[in-house]
Amino acid sequence: MGAPREVWVQVARVPEVRAAGVYVVQAGRYTIALFAEGDRIYAVDNRCPHMGFPLHRGTLRDGLLTCHWHHARFDLQTGGTFDLWADDLTVFPVEIRGDEVWVNLSPSGDARERARVRLEDGLKHGLPLVLAKTVLRLLELGEDPVEIFRIGLNFGVRHRRDGWGPGLTILTAMMNLLSDLDPSDRPRALYHGLAAVATDAEDSPPRLPVRPLPGAADPDRLHRWFQQFVEVRDAEGAERCLASAIAAGLPPAIIAEMIFAAATDHRYLAVGHALDFANKAFEALEIAGWADADLVLTSLVPVLVRGERMEESVAWRHPVDLVGLLERAFEALPALRPSPEGRWAGPEALIPVLLGEDPEAIVDALLGALREGAPWAEVAGTVALAAALRIVHFSLHNEHGDWDTALHTFSFAHAVHQAMRRFPSPALLRGVFDAAMSVYLDRFLNVPSVPLPEPRAPAGMPNRVTATLAALLDRQGAVQEAASVVAGCLQAGGEASPVRAALGHALLREDRDFHTIQMVEAAFRESAIWRGTRWEPFLLIAAARYLAAHAPTRRAQEQIYRIAERLHRGERLYEEA
């Protein structure tokens, strides 16, 4: 294929441009500003790349064009900006033919590559408007969302000294949500994910990864040492073990076993965040591929090493020594074998015990189910379901901050469940028991227990569910009404996908809140696993209640996104400013 044909058009006469100093013409789909300076004429896109202000109203001095709206400065010759939040300006090659001015309208260079570079600028300099504009541009150019995710992941694991954090968790959660969202919300989800990664990296020194050991080390020893080094909170030693195990090409299941064992050596480590982050890191690798596994997985070491251990907390020791109870139960775990096809009584019998008031009965019921041959992932999923039911019945008399207590348990239980589906192990079974104890500790959040919502299905459902939920969530405290609408849509086997899309839309228009995002994503994924059962609606009701309890926010991030969207559509913003 030959080079693309150049499109030269005559746009003006030299004398009229020189006489005017700056002269605006329409050429093809562009409005072009022609600037005469010295013996040269320059042609640029008249829309400021920042927010579209007409640049012919700017000031040109010594080749430097300054936009009058937010004062971004551009080199007129190359279009390059000195204010990175504004983006580079599109310039068009000019030829003077006699007294005619001709400009070349053909696109120059690789637009997709330019947009990728710009995405990295947005991440490096923490520029949400640039991120939103670039996501829209890349998707328009046919970029795969996975590639956009990969750029964010790669940036995030290199640029935050404290390693994996909320930003990368949000980015991965957003990728997981994509298929549930209305297509028009998918760029919005990527924008939020990338902006969260950029925020996490802001003001942080970069991570300096530790090199693997110089030769081939014994894999069993690496495994043991890793756990020992995490135990004594030695981040450097632990990271070198993990990097060496990955460099040695150990299979993902073995690497997962190392990480999840370290994450469950102590009870409910970092209020569940350590295991939650670890699970998300493996999900990220599932999306992006294993190529950067060393950088991604070693970024988990800080949270594994520093996390608070619940052995040190009063609630896990008094008045019942839950830690002692669990340690005795864990002695039985090595004798258990995973049985993916095992038969057991199912969640119906286990759920009431999990939501009960007797921790010994909970531990016995879990051990009983496992000995019966219950599939480990199903037991983990049942504990996650019990954690979601705490949110379904969460009393509005609790302190507002208690929503997070219930959320932490659910998010952790969900992470254990997802990890167990991929990499079943006795170590992860300890996580199942931890999650069950956290469900037990949260029992006072259901006093009094809020009854299930009365199903309410306003006219036009499910088509109008997005608008109905959006209107409800415009005001504070619509917790029960939102739950009723979701219950109404799902009653008698109603289709869940419009409800998911509506909840996803409601989530994305609010300012990013780490916990609300975790809640909605976990509820969507757990509900997909319980699809077609009587449990499916409970998970979406939990999501609706939590979301409604945290809405509305200022929606400042949505405003940025809408500006980007309007610019992308070619709308004029400045006229309304």
Number of residues that bind ligand FES (CB under 6 A): 9
Between 53 and 376, CB nearer to ligand FES: 53
Query: Which conformational region is residue 196 in: left (phi greater than 0), alpha (psi within -120 to 50 degrees), or beta?
Result: alpha
Q: How far is the CB of 48 from ligand FES (least distance, A)?
A: 3
3-state SS record for 201-261: HCCCCCCCCCCCCCCCCCHHHHHHHHHHHHHCCCHHHHHHHHHHHHHCCCCHHHHHHHHHH
Between 53 and 546, CB nearer to ligand FES: 53
Between 74 and 164, CB nearer to ligand FES: 74
Distance between CA atoms of 22 and 540, rounded to whole angstroms? 58
Q: How far is the CB of 78 from ligand FES (least distance, A)?
A: 17
Tell me the window of 50-58, 170-178, 251-259, 313-321 that interacts with ligand FES (CB under 6 A).
50-58
Site for ligand FES in 513-552 (CB under 6 A): none
Which residues, listed in sequence order, are joined to residue 22 by a DSSP beta bridge? 35
Between 128 and 504, CB nearer to ligand FES: 128
Between 74 and 433, CB nearer to ligand FES: 74
Q: How far is the CB of 563 from ligand FES (least distance, A)?
A: 10
Between 32 and 469, CB nearer to ligand FES: 32
β-strand pairing of 73-75 with 91-92: unpaired
Between 51 and 148, CB nearer to ligand FES: 51
Q: How far is the CB of 81 from ligand FES (least distance, A)?
A: 9
- Residue 48 sits in the site that holds ligand FES (CB under 6 A): yes
DSSP assignment, residue 349? Answer: H
Token pair, residue 203, equals 């003001």
Tell me the window of 48-56, 172-180, 217-225, 328-336 that interacts with ligand FES (CB under 6 A).
48-56
Backbone angles phi, psi at 11, to 5 degrees: -120, -20
Between 55 and 385, CB nearer to ligand FES: 55
Distance between CA atoms of 17 and 278, rounded to whole angstroms? 62
Tell me the window of 29-37, 45-53, 93-101, 550-558 that interacts with ligand FES (CB under 6 A).
45-53
Tell me the window of 44-52, 88-96, 328-336, 468-476 that interacts with ligand FES (CB under 6 A).
44-52
Site for ligand FES in 489-508 (CB under 6 A): none
Between 72 and 181, CB nearer to ligand FES: 72
* Near ligand FES by CB under 6 A: residue from 86, 173, 258, 386: 86
Between 70 and 221, CB nearer to ligand FES: 70
Q: How far is the CB of 573 from ligand FES (least distance, A)?
A: 8
Interface map 63-82 toward ligand FES (x if CB under 6 A) = ----x-xx-x----------
For 113-160, give the DSSP string: HHHHHHHHHHHHTT-HHHHHHHHHHHHHTT--HHHHHHHHHHHHHHS-
Pick from 155, 82, 147: nearest CA to 124: 155
Between 479 and 560, CB nearer to ligand FES: 560
The structure tokens 């950088």 sit at 295
Q: How far is the CB of 92 from ligand FES (least distance, A)?
A: 18
For 153, 344, 349, 395, 510, the CA distances from 390, given in Å and listed in that order, are 33, 24, 17, 9, 24
Coil/strand/helix, residue 459: coil
Which residues, listed in sequence order, are joined to residue 7 by a DSSP beta bridge? none
Q: How far is the CB of 66 from ligand FES (least distance, A)?
A: 8
Between 8 and 574, CB nearer to ligand FES: 574
Neighbour-count burial of 97, counting CB atoms closer than 10 A to its CB (0-12 exposed, 13-18 middle, 19+ buried) = exposed
Q: How far is the CB of 89 from ligand FES (least distance, A)?
A: 10
Neighbour-count burial of 337, counting CB atoms closer than 10 A to its CB (0-12 exposed, 13-18 middle, 19+ buried) = exposed
Between 69 and 155, CB nearer to ligand FES: 69
Q: How far is the CB of 58 from ligand FES (least distance, A)?
A: 8
Cα 368 from chain centroid (whole Å): 37
Tell me the window of 62-70, 257-265, 547-555, 564-572 that interacts with ligand FES (CB under 6 A).
62-70
Q: How far is the CB of 16 from ligand FES (least distance, A)?
A: 26
Q: How far is the CB of 67 from ligand FES (least distance, A)?
A: 3
Helix (H) or strand (E) holding 45: strand 40-45
Helix (H) or strand (E) holding 505: helix 497-509
Greatest Cα-to-Cα distance within the chain, rounded to the nearest angstrom: 94
Between 53 and 344, CB nearer to ligand FES: 53
Distance between CA atoms of 391 and 381, rounded to whole angstroms? 16
Q: How far is the CB of 129 from ligand FES (least distance, A)?
A: 10
Q: How far is the CB of 70 from ligand FES (least distance, A)?
A: 3
Distance between CA atoms of 136 and 396, rounded to whole angstroms? 40
Q: How far is the CB of 201 from ligand FES (least distance, A)?
A: 24
Angle at Cα 205 formed by Cα 201 and Cα 210, nearest 5°? 105
Helix (H) or strand (E) holding 506: helix 497-509
Residues that bind ligand FES (CB under 6 A): 48, 50-51, 53, 67, 69-70, 72, 86
